[in-house]
Structure 1
Amino acid sequence: MIPTRRRALLSAASGLTLGLASAARAQTAPPTPAEAPSSGAWPNRPVRIIVPAPGGGGTADTLARVFSQEMEKRVGQRVLVDNRGGANGNIGALAGARATPDGYTILWSWAGTLATGPALYKDLPFDPEKDFEPVALIGNVPNVLVVNKDLPIHSLQEFGDYARAHPNGINFGSTGNGSSMHLAGELYKSLTGAQMVHVPYAAPAAGVTDLLAGRIQAMFNLITGVAPQVRAGAVTPIAILDDRRSPQLPDVPTTAELGMPGLVFGTWFGLFLPKGVDPALLRRINAVANEILADPAARTRFEEQGMTPLGGDPARLANFLHEEIGRHAALVRQSGARNE
């Protein structure tokens, strides 16, 4: 990669690091339910949370179900998860955008669909900033670099040394072009000049299976997708792509600790409502979300799934989404990822 491209992506990586770090550390106190304006009788019937992913235990689905269970405890009505998988989340996101803005349909979405998607697709059927009302930034799940246990690699330094000694000798798996696993690997390549081969899979489990068998050598997987294999000693963990250690894998160092603070990547999650919802209702749902994220027991449930709870007011998510769209666009351009 030529020096100008490396400088551009280093700048993008630095911005991404600062964006996630500032989101995790913001000190603005979220509104409490007592401060939220009256939202009438809401809810007086079940609430639906659209998850733009298939059911069955994936990261997005699992976290959304934890959130829905915690929300049920607080609103006195059923909170149902409505899985709408397909098209990298675009089908579910479009359903969320077209829903009636009455507070009974909430979109649970994430970085890949709303921040990466605009750079991957020429004609999205929705605009992440114009077609939604941001409610709350829920949390972030970082990626972790893991390698096949038979490789002579046990540290980030050794990973770099091996990559330099074996150009294109490391095949790294992902869940497709533009996924967090792909862009994390491309970010590593750009920061180090390493030559690696990207191998996309339709599902993360297939990539993990090939990693265990040695058909690929590495993955920049989400913690939720590979933590059991790490704990079982089936793969070798190298580093968490974050500036803080994960409660799921507390013994695995971070890239920031290991001298690569620009190598930070993960998937953040947020709540969104269709455009046009009553502002008082928006604040009421935001207050419920922040009450959940502030509850120690609920936080533990999220952390056990690899997510760092965040929270904050709607403006925080709106500003964060705007910044992330720009950062992800830079990473997609540099990686060459594209979906038509």
Structure 2
Amino acid sequence: MTLPRRSALVLPAVLGLSAAAGAQTPAPAPAPAPAGPWPNRPVRIIVPAPGGGGTADTLARIFAQEMEKRVSQRVLIDNRGGANGNIGALAGARAAPDGYTILWSWAGTMATNPALYKDLAFDPERDFEPVVLIGNVPNVLVVNKELGPRTLEEFGAYARAHPNGINFGSTGNGSSMHLAGELYKSLTGAQMTHVPYTAPAAAVTDLLSGRIQAMFNLITGVAPQVRAGAVTPIAVLSPERAPQLPEVPTTAELGMPGLVFGTWFGLFLPRGSDPAFVQRLNALSNEVLADPEARARFEQAGMATLGGPPERLASFLHSEIESHAALVRASGARND
């Protein structure tokens, strides 16, 4: 399904700004042409999530440290959490297009939120210059140890034999855990009940106790429980095995190549940034992602690195917006 284009950008109430104010926001001034070496002052990376060790924050800080090794300036993390990443993304869109403010964002904010929110204050495709697709953290299907299934085939058989007998937990409507479950339902016809939580730890606790039976958790959020034998891993929703759980088969291996889902991360500059800034940052990012030590750090934190030209991120983002919109519509989820 094709996601309808928005005719105007409207500021959400959560930001405390009126729609009229958003409509009057002027377009950014043309970007200055690069003068001399870049960067020649500190660079700021906006991360639309709180600090303190979450997946997005951890990965962004690894990238900032690796980038700082390769430039002569500080690379600072600016955490702007709230509204499913919308606050930070809007700050990134409104930043000066001078190459010194970068947005580190991900699937939920850039691909899911356009369908999840009726009036979004930014357009992920119109308001940013895509720079590079950094990497992907896959979801993994895990079940309570006492449920019975040990394989993807057995899980499917259990779901068919027990309509609405599986409650799967997530961190909320439109989260990767929720949409991964919706993707499974759409591919298999399984009838399962979504149970949203406000914190992943609470969902995992209920999975361990049997209050819920399954989760399509990010691999970073459940790998310790898998290694400890506290939950049963069914499959990683990825074409390739995950370094954190190399013993767990993928959905592609198990005959469901369409059941692929994860949280991808990318770098964006504000619309109007000079193409020279985009190319310089893209080249630097790919250098980081190609470095074996940096790649090992990312993999240890749960992310498989990707990279490539800006066009790869632009094309990928467009397709993700469309596919996430279809899943959100099928689920009936809204966050307005």
Cα distance between partner residues in 2 of 1:172 and 1:204: 12
Q: Which of 169, 173, 196 does residue 173 from structure 1 map onto?
A: 169
1:202 Cα shift? 1.2
| Structure 2 match to 1:208 | 204
Shift of 1:38: 7.1
Question: Superposition pairs for residues 281-300 of structure 1, below 5 Å?
Answer: 281-300=277-296
Instruction: Identify the residue that residue 154 of structure 1 maps to in structure 2.
Output: 150
- Alpha-carbon offset, residue 71 of structure 1: 0.6
2:87 is paired with a residue whose SS is helix
Segment of structure 1 superposing worse, 132-141 or 200-209 = 200-209
* Structure 2 contact 34–274 (Cα < 8 Å) conserved: no
Map residues 308-323 of structure 1 onto 2, 5 A cutoff: 308-323=304-319
Partner deviation per Cα, 1:176-198 (whole Å, 9 max, x = no partner): 11111101101111211111110
Q: Which residue of 2 aligns with 1:244?
A: 240
Instruction: Name the aligned partner's letter for residue 335 of structure 1.
Output: S
Q: Which residue number corresponds to residue 63 of structure 1?
A: 59
Q: Secondary structure at the match of 2:148?
A: coil
After superposition, the C-alpha distances for 1:266-309 in whole angstroms (9 at most, x for unaligned) are: 11110001111121122111111000001011111111122111
Where does residue 330 of structure 1 map in the other structure? Answer: 326
User: Under a length normalisation based on structure 1, what TM-score does the superposition of the two structures give?
Assistant: 0.87
Q: Does 1:199 find its partner at 2:226?
A: no
| Alignment partner, residue 186 of structure 1 | 182
Seen in structure 2, the aligned counterparts of structure 1 residues 257 and 39 have a Cα distance that, compared at 3 Å, is farther
Of 202, 218, 222, the residue aligned with 1:222 is 218
Partner Cα separation in structure 2 for residue 329 and residue 62 of structure 1:
28
Counterpart position of 2:227: 231
Would the aligned equivalents of 1:118 and 1:124 in 2 still touch at CA under 8 Å?
yes
Contact 2:137–2:263 (CA under 8 A) maintained in structure 1: yes
Correspondence 1:108 to 2:99: no
Q: Which amino acid aligns with 2:79?
A: N
The TM-score with structure 2 as length reference comes to 0.88
> Could you list the per-position Cα deviations for residues 119-159 of structure 1 after superposition, in whole angstroms to 9, with x for gaps in the alignment?
11111000111111111110111100001112212111111
Deviation, structure 1 residue 44 = 2.1
In structure 1, list runs of 5 or more residues that go unmatched. Answer: 1-7, 9-36
AA at the equivalent of 2:45: I
How many Å apart are 1:210 and its aligned residue?
A: 1.4
Unaligned runs of 5+ in 2: 2-32
Report if aligned partners of 1:240, 1:253 keep a CA contact under 8 Å in 2.
yes
Structure 1: distance between partners of 2:56 and 2:47:
7
**Contact kept? 1:39, 1:280, Cα under 8 Å:** no
1:41 and 2:37 matched:
yes
Give the match for residue 12 of structure 1: none
Give the drift of 1:335: 1.9
Secondary structure at 1:109 match in 2: strand
Conservation of the 8 A alpha-carbon contact between 1:245 and 1:253: yes
Aligned match for 1:75, one of 66, 71, 78: 71
**CA–CA separation in structure 2 for the residues paired with 1:279 and 1:160:** 48
Cα distance between partner residues in 2 of 1:267 and 1:327: 14
User: Residue 252 of structure 2 aligns with which residue?
Assistant: 256
How far off its partner does 1:165 sit?
Answer: 2.0
Give the equivalent residue in structure 2 for 1:19.
none
